[in-house]
Structure formats: structure tokens, C-alpha cells
Amino acid sequence: MKLVTNQSKMKRLALLAIFFLVLNQSTNASAISIVLVEESSIDTGGGTYDVQLVDNYAYVIDTGSASGFVILDITDRSNPEIISSFNSGSSSSLFVIDDIAYITNGPDGLAIVDISDPYNPNILGNYNSGGDIHKVVVVENLAYVANGANGFEIVDVNDPADPQKIDQYGGIYCNAIAVNGDVAYATVLGHSFMNVIAFDISNPENIVTQGTYQDTNALFFYPTIANDFLFVADHETGSGVLKIINVTDSTNMFEVARYETEGVAQDTCIRNNLVYLASGDVGLEVLNIEDISNPVKIAEHYDGGVVYGIDVSSDTIYLADRYDGLELLSYTSDNETAETSLIYLESALALMTSGILFKVLNKKRKE
């Protein structure tokens, strides 16, 4: 009798676990909330425009300082510390990878800086083919360059002291670039017939157009790619719109959603179904994109500055604020539905398995 009673208890526990699984999924299917807390801020010189995190360091572009490129130790996020700076020129953005910072300097080209010792950055080389370099993405010693009126360029940076252009797509004004595998997505200005061009870059010596996306009178900036969706800031209205474009098939790209931003949409960072949006003179906006066709704002932060750049770690948001320097916000989110559901499901299955095994053993013992 005792064995039967224990088995019955296990079945009841399994059913209870499944009940909580269903309840959890139904009540949390679209409910994500986030809490923002301002941790600290630091003046990096007067005109902070871009930021990227690597380990315990924040790499910042500050056009208001004499340096342009600033490195901070963010080990203690309540007390970030400037540890070095570098005169990088008239800088506007950066890309950091493998102990090297690639810094865009408009008509002055691309500065390549050794940051293996963050306390002592040193110039390695410079690339300048004319034009006006706005953005760069680097993957496996190849730099994908948005070079203004010079178009889209691919540059071999295997030798940082002697970068070499290996191909170019001209005849367009390319202001930014995003790379996903063998495809590069370029945002293009001044062409009413195309705003995004998808390039096949599988052979970097032969750039091939795969497809284009058209949005009449749109002005696209700051593309970010995530899960076969391209997020672009559109300044067509004078305020701002975040547009989400399905690029699963780069020969047939199409808009799936748009979000009217409170400010002028700038940079974006996507993590776990949330879009962290640098929204210019209204600060930070956080959007829930669980339903990709219906972005919903769930949080915001504004303290009087103008936010141009953003990067996000597992628990901290870093804002490049033109007037307030680098701002650090800690955040907590309940976006753990999938993990919680999985725990419930694993528990239910474990209990059910235990009950079946117990029944088999009990039957064998009676035999």
C-alpha cells in the first residue's frame, strides 16, 4: 500500500508541475518588464557619440575632447575611471575587436589603434581612399567600410600598418553597414529607388548585389542585424522611426513593423527580445519585440542629454550622451519566461519518469 501511495503522490506532483507550466506560459507569454536604475555617469570630454564594451573596458568616441578616443575602466560601474585617451582625429564611431580599435574619422579615413594595453593605446596604421568614412565593421581581418560618396569598400587589415582595399562598390553614398555571415547590408542616402542594398561578400574580391529595399523619401541610418531582421533608424519625418525589415531572403526584403520613436532614432542594441534604442534628445527607449510585428515600449530613461550611442551588457546599459558623457544604467528584467517554463517542464518530465519507473519496479517486485 505504501508503494501505491508514493506513486500516486508522484503523479499528482507531475500533474501539478504541468499545471504551473501551462499557467506560467499563459500569464507570461507577452509580459516583459524592465527596471532601470542610474548607476553613474562620467564626463569624457564634452561630446560623447559612440561606445563599445569589451570585458571590463568601455571604448568611447568623444568629439568634444581634444583626444577623440577615450578608454575607461568600468570594473566598478558605480565609479568608472578614465585610464587613457588618444588623439584619433575627427572621430565619429568605432569598432573594437582582437585588441584593435578601428576608428572612423570621416574625410581623414580610418585610424587603426592597438589597445592591447588599454593604458597605452598606440596607432598601428591608417586607411584613407578619399570619401567620408562613417562606419566600419571588421570580421576576420576584413574591414567593411561605409565610405560616403566612395560607396562600400572591403579592406584587408591583416597587416594593420598597411591596410589594402580589395574591392569597392561605388556610385552610391553609403553611410552605414551591418554584416551577417556572407551578406553585408548597406544603408544608402540620396537614392529614392533604394535605401538598403544587400551585398554578397562571400568572395571579398568580388562584391555582388543580392537585393535592394526601397522606401520612398526615407533616410536610413544605424543598421543593426538580429535574427534575420534588420533594424534601421529612419529620419524621414524629422523626428524618427525605427523600422524592422525582414531580410531572411536578401533578394526580397520587406518591412514587418515600424515604431514611431519619441526622439530622433539613433543607435540600437538588441538582447533577448528587447531593443535598447538611443533616441537622441529623449534619451533611452526600451522596446519589447516578442511580437516582431508589434514593438511595444516598456521603459524609458531621460535626464536632459542627447543620446547617440549605446551598448548593453548582461546587467548594465551604457549610453553615449553628447552632453553628459558616458552614463551607466543597471537594469533587471523578468524576460526569463522560456527558462522558467523549461524548468517547470523538466521537473514535470522528471516526476513523470520517476512515477513510471516506480510502477515498473513495483510490478517486477510483485512478480
Q: Express each pLDDT in 223-266 by its tens digit.
A: 999 999 999 988 776 668 899 999 999 999 999 999 998 888 88
d(CA 264, CA 308) in angstroms, rounded, equals: 9
Q: What φ, ψ does residue 38 adopt, rounded to 5°?
A: -70, 120
In terms of average pLDDT, the best of 58-72, 186-200, 230-244, 296-310 is 296-310
Task: Express each pLDDT in 30-64 by its tens digit.
Answer: 468 899 999 999 999 878 999 999 999 999 999 86
Amino acid letter, residue 184: A
Beta bridge partners of 101: 96, 113
d(CA 292, CA 280) in angstroms, rounded, equals: 23
d(CA 245, CA 214) in angstroms, rounded, equals: 11
Cell numbers representing residue 137 in the block? 565593421
d(CA 361, CA 367) in angstroms, rounded, equals: 10
pLDDT-derived band at 214 (thresholds 50, 70, 90) equals confident
Confirm whether pTM is higher than 0.85.
Answer: no
d(CA 58, CA 84) in angstroms, rounded, equals: 11
Mean pLDDT over the full length of the chain? 83
Task: Express each pLDDT in 126-158 by its tens digit.
Answer: 999 888 999 999 999 999 999 999 999 999 999
pLDDT of 222 reads 86
Task: Express each pLDDT in 317-329 by its tens digit.
Answer: 999 998 889 999 9
Superfamily in which the 47-270 domain is placed by CATH: YVTN repeat-like/Quinoprotein amine dehydrogenase (2.130.10.10)
Task: Express each pLDDT in 9-18 by its tens digit.
Answer: 444 544 444 4
